[in-house]
Structure 1
Amino acid sequence: MPRTMAGKVLAVALMAVLALVGCADDSRDGAGKPRISAYLDGNLELGEVEALSLDAGDQVHLAFRFTDADGAPVAGERLAVLSRAGNLITHPAPRTDADGFARTRLLAQRGGQDTLEISGPGEARGELRLRVGGEEADQHGDHQVGEGELPERDDVLSWRRLGALKTWEEEDLLAAEFPDDILALEGQTVRVQGFMMPLEQGDRQRHFLLSASTPSCFYCAPGGPESVVEVKTDRGLAFTFDALTLEGELELLDPNEMGMFYRLKDARPAD
């Protein structure tokens, strides 16, 4: 199970990083422009954080502050949070509060170097560098299947392909540009493997999400919208914690109010 960083906040590794990178000051590049800075949620007194050293399985709550060119907080705007290496972001499009803070949670799953890219309206940009180590991490930087993830198979549509899309905000919704190989699959029968995340009550599910990794919380998606597929089936499937392989018609959603990019229609078990 992932280890939650509460009071200690990875004291030794984190404080070492803070000592190296220091806190933000207005003299560095980006002053006088809209900017996004990263903090540890619940530990704002530590100041701005530019880098974190984590172990695979660690969780950390993050707060990103969006300020305008004069340094004033910007409220009510959505930010887009992306992990270049594919580490899990539970809320990839958080909205800023009255103090300009937008909050999310990071689950470190993939070893090696990573960068979180945070973007907002206009030219607002920010980055948070990560180093993920530990027994589950790949020290060479190549992705290895971690706990709760599924190995890739040749007979199913991989999550790597589903995740290779560009996203942006459009009228308060996330819009997407799909790669050509995914566009060619729209309306076709495909197979997808993943874990069931129920959207309804009852033993049998007709409308649920299929996730790339085991849900860590049943009140939020375990990753970004590119890591889940909305599933609809007339048959109804029994709830299970085990991995499923489903077959159905692929529908591309751009955008929709549920924040999903993919839907599997008339789904049925493929195994």
Structure 2
Amino acid sequence: MPSKPLRLASVNVNGVRAAFRNGMGAWLEGRGVDILALQEVRAETADLEKLLGAEWSILHDAATAKGRAGVAIASREPATIHRVAFGPDEFDSAGRWLEADFQWGDSVVTVVSTYVHSGEADTPKQVEKYKFLDAMVERLPLLHEHNPLAVVVGDLNVGHRTLDIRNWKGNVKRAGFLPGERAYFDRFLGAEGDPDYNAGAGLGWVDLGRRFAGEVDGPYTWWSQRGRAFDNDTGWRIDYQLATAELAATATGYSVDRAPSHAERWSDHSPVVVDYAL
């Protein structure tokens, strides 16, 4: 029976093979991760098995288009069950939503690795993004019914509040900070100013990044590769761990593993790591 907290890490690797070439393996080796959720894998299952090694049990849902998207969950112990069905039957969600149940001591924890579309305002890409967010609205209550100890992690490609984007005024008409997108997060977590925001409002899910950081800018999880965005910390907080209230109550630590310098980055995103004392 595990005697330590469950350490769950999530990161958009922006291509797992490139991430490992640039140093991801060293980060993972020293981080003590029990369950690792990946987004934008952009590789084959065999690549994941080779890179991670035999000590990891791997679930992988690749995108329909080869070399695009892809989500995975790697764990020290195998999942008891996993699911990839998401949204209406006619909606192609391949490579974007992977659920798995894990036994941890006397508890079962449900982990979802998800990669929401980046979108593009006033284009069909944005329509697909809204379809995905609609499917999340439908799925989140069912996920809680399935297991009160559940968490949705990954690159959700939306900054919920002005605190989540350094240059928010310049991005109000850009995908990732559109009012329509942010309204979905009001549904998930409650709206800014709601007395029960992030504490039971909306669908009752908890944004652990905001709970631990408080009412401050960031901490950001993604920076553009252009210019000096990383050096100036001109970032976006678009990578989340959204937990049910029951699981959030067990969270004892939250961190964004920001690289020491631009040259030491192995993805344009940083890992989000949470410890759950189950």
Which is richer in strand? 1
- Work out whether the TM-score is over 0.5: no
TM normalised by structure 2 equals 0.24
The structure having more radius of gyration, on CA atoms, is: 1
Which structure is richer in relative contact order (CA contacts within 8 A, separation 6 or more)?
Answer: 2
Q: TM-score, normalising length from structure 1? A: 0.25
